[in-house]
Amino acid sequence: MTPATGRETTQLPKTRQAKTYPMGKPSQHTHRATLRRATFDINRGIRGKTGLRFCASWHTIETMDENAEEYRIPGQLIKALLMERGWSNRVLAAVIDIEETGISKLVSGKKSVTPEIAIALEEVFGIEADKFLSLQKQYDLAKARLVARPNPKRATRAHLFSGLPVAEMIKRRWIETEDVRDMPSVEHSIAKFFGVESIDQVEILPHAAKRTVVSDSATPTQLAWLYRVKQISSEMFVGQCSKSSILHAIELLKPLTLSAEEARKVPRVLAECGIRFVIVESLSSAKIDGVCFWLDEKSPVIGMSMRFDRIDNFWFVLRHELEHALQEHGKSVIAIDSELEGSRAGIGDSVIEEERIANQAAADFCVPQKTMDSFIARKAPVFSERDILGLAATLRVHPGLVAGQLRNRIGRYDRFNNHLVKMREIIFPSAVVDGWGNVAPVGNF
């Protein structure tokens, strides 16, 4: 109650007043450390343990956040913060302990905001350091774009190098260059390899015209392997081929399955029947087994990778590709056969019709499937060495063909390895081979 009026009054709590200091231009005799302590007193609530924020500082932070999109360079934001507080460049220089000229250059954009300066500005203004660094990054990028010359070839090179094993192609002498860093030479050699005038026309690129009709599942690496097979086969001289000559080749090949050594005759038999036969080592990660395509209406080509050095795989893949040739598959759309193992070598509903036909013919060539069905029904679950040798003798084929088909049917690829003879050293001396240290004579090689 007041003495004058006799009325009761409510005593309001006293508001704690922030301690203030004159922040104008410091006199010549003002010590810099004193000025820094004064500024710290004003802003200490921003990052202090008490969590207190003074009105002036809170207002600054809110205002800066709301108008963040207005600033294009860090200097604009720093200048706005100085104006908000009524500070000069000299005051800020004293607070964060750098030369005044440095602050002037920051404000004008002539000096970049470093992480150290960004942290100092965060401590002073309560604006996250990331904001200053983000503005600096955007500004630097904008300046770079003004002077940078667009180079569309970079995207093209990226597509080529991400899709093609260029270093491996150089090592195997598919392309004529010595150093992968010699980009003009690499580009010229890749264009030459694919038979185009410039790398922009290489058909593995998204925008390039497709000169080779290949199934959509073919990868750029597999397409490169296919081109190598085409290069080599195009320089081979054999007679014209017909459906009857393909059938005759199959008849001549069947007796050769009795002995592993007889497989050395395969390249000559195929050539005499007008079929170009090329063995090209697979590129890394391509997982290619074989391919059948046509250079023209009378010139089928069979390419094999022999990535599995086993007698059963050799005869299965070869007969698989011969069936493609017999059915004239590959004339309109080339299908590169990869991972011809397990279900992909079967005749299930998940296998497309062309591959199912080829798989059936290949399996019957090795071991007639009705015979294999009967053998499994009689001998399962135990298949002895004597049983395998007996069936092979009855069919007049190498035991490795029986073992291979049996492994595939029962899904036990760890069994019967002793029958799976290696074939590369038998086939290579009489075949056209590219890989494993050999370079097929193509073009200038």
The pLDDT tens digits of the residues spanning 88-104 come to 999 999 999 999 999 99
Residue ranges of alpha helices (H) inside 195-262 are 220-234, 243-253
Average model confidence (pLDDT) for the chain? 82
Output the pLDDT for position 426: 97
Domains within the chain, CATH numbers bracketed: 32-144 (1.10.260.40), 154-211 (no CATH), 215-434 (no CATH)
Output the pLDDT for position 68: 54
**Residues with Cβ < 8 Å from 248, sequence gap 6 or more?**
273
**Predicted confidence (pLDDT) at residue 212 exceeds the cutoff of 70:** no
Higher-confidence residue: 24 or 341? Answer: 341
Output the pLDDT for position 69: 62
Is residue 118 left, alpha or beta, with left meaning phi > 0 and alpha meaning psi from -120 to 50? alpha
Q: Going by DSSP bridges, is the β-strand pair 300-304/288-294 parallel, antiparallel, or unpaired? A: antiparallel
Tell me the three state secondary structure of residue 11.
coil
Share of the chain above pLDDT 90, in %: 58
Tokens found for residue 296 = 């023209």
Q: How far apart are CA 385 and CA 352, in angstroms?
A: 35
**Predicted confidence (pLDDT) at residue 219 exceeds the cutoff of 80:** yes
CA distances from 93 to 44, 102, 115, 283 (A): 18, 8, 17, 62
Between 129-147 and 115-125, two packed helices, what is the crossing angle to 10 degrees?
140
Output the pLDDT for position 11: 45
User: Would the pTM of this model clear 0.85, i.e. be above it?
Assistant: no
**Predicted confidence (pLDDT) at residue 232 exceeds the cutoff of 50:** yes
Output the pLDDT for position 47: 37
Output the pLDDT for position 36: 40
Q: Going by DSSP bridges, is the β-strand pair 300-304/336-338 parallel, antiparallel, or unpaired? A: unpaired
Mind listing the pLDDT tens digit for each residue in 158-191?
Answer: 877 888 898 899 999 999 887 878 888 888 899 8
Mean pLDDT within 259-276:
97
* Cis omega (within 30 of 0) for bond into 206: no
Place of tokens 């990331």: 130
Mean pLDDT within 278-288:
92
- Is the Cβ–Cβ distance between 320 and 386 less than 8 Å? no
> What are the strands, taking DSSP E only, across 203-359?
276-280, 288-294, 300-304, 336-338
The one-letter amino acid code at 154 reads: R
